[in-house]
Amino acid sequence: MRYVQLRAFHHVALHGGFSNAARALNLTQPAISDQVRKLEGQYDVLLFNRLKKQVTLTEAGDRLLEITHRMFENEHQAMELLNESRALSTGTLRIIADAAHHMHEILGRFQKKFPNIHITLHTGNTDDVIKALHAYQADIGVLGDVPKLAEFDILHLGNSPIIAFASKDFARNLPTRQTLQDLASQPLIFREIGSKTRQKLEESAKHKNITLTPMIEAEGREAVHELVANGVGIGFVSAAEFRRDDRIKQINITDLTITMDEALINLRERRGGKLIRAFVDLAATDR
């Protein structure tokens, strides 16, 4: 087994194909294919299913990827240690958040302290955040709920209640305080399955023997916001995520006691990374 073979395998798995891996490594596709083929041949194991132009991991490939993730992360951390004299003057920090507002203040402080660090920020629901961290596609995750997963370091940022909201025209004849039962008879707009806000809301309703049936399921928080702002129905969000907008009005849910916990998370095995460590330390001092 050679380093170049494992590196080729890792990048094909990471980038979803031989051509993408070749571009990432600045090599030719035949060179990448040859390294993976030699690795499979040497150990008589199939690491990828090759169906037409699609490449997917086999069970053995999936298990090997877990190992190479750790291997190349350790290599990355070793390089960081050896380059410690450069401090935090270069690099990219990849963040995925279920709501970008969680990050505004911390990102501002981090960028001011480390102006040469490139930051990418993507959004997704809780499932997206967890998957991206597990796949090493992101370094830091920010959630509106704290996962009960032992493999993560977790920094609590705060908590806030779930509220409802509607357009001002729609809510003209609605009290600003409603029960879940009151809201159940209204046209409701939910986020996609995988949203923790939705999950907690539905669990609370079920406990009260209330059926909440969404009229519309929308992908992402912004889509829900715009549908509500245009008078289509009532949406739900944590109070901390409620975006001020002249078109909409907040509705407090009087019998809903659940809250959304805001947390910053990272894979425990990656806590040694200098960018991850610097960001978490800065966030901790902001609490």
Q: Coil, strand, or helix at residue 185?
A: coil
CATH among 3.60.20.10, 1.10.1040.10, 1.20.200.10, 1.10.10.10 for 3-82: 1.10.10.10
The whole-number pLDDT of residue 233 equals: 94
pLDDT above 70 (res 100): no
**Reported confidence tier of residue 149, pLDDT bands at 50, 70, 90:** confident
The whole-number pLDDT of residue 5 equals: 92
pLDDT digits (tens, 9 = 90+) for 217-260: 998 888 999 999 999 999 998 887 888 899 999 999 998 888 88
Tell me how many degrees the CA angle 64-96-68 measures, rounded to the nearest 5.
Answer: 15
Q: For 93-101, what is the mean pLDDT?
A: 83
Domain locations along the chain:
3-82, 89-157+262-285, 160-258
The whole-number pLDDT of residue 104 equals: 77
| Longest alpha-carbon distance in the chain | 73
**Reported confidence tier of residue 54, pLDDT bands at 50, 70, 90:** confident
Q: How many CA atoms lie within 13 A of 58 on its CB side?
A: 11
Beta-sheet strands, E only, within 124-247: 140-143, 152-167, 177-178, 188-191, 214-218, 235-238
Give every CB contact of residue 69 below 8 A, 6+ residues apart in sequence. Answer: 10, 136
Name 189's bridge partners: 216
Fold annotation for 160-258: D-Maltodextrin-Binding Protein; domain 2 (3.40.190)
CATH among 3.40.50.410, 3.60.40.10, 3.40.190.10, 3.40.50.720 for 89-157+262-285: 3.40.190.10
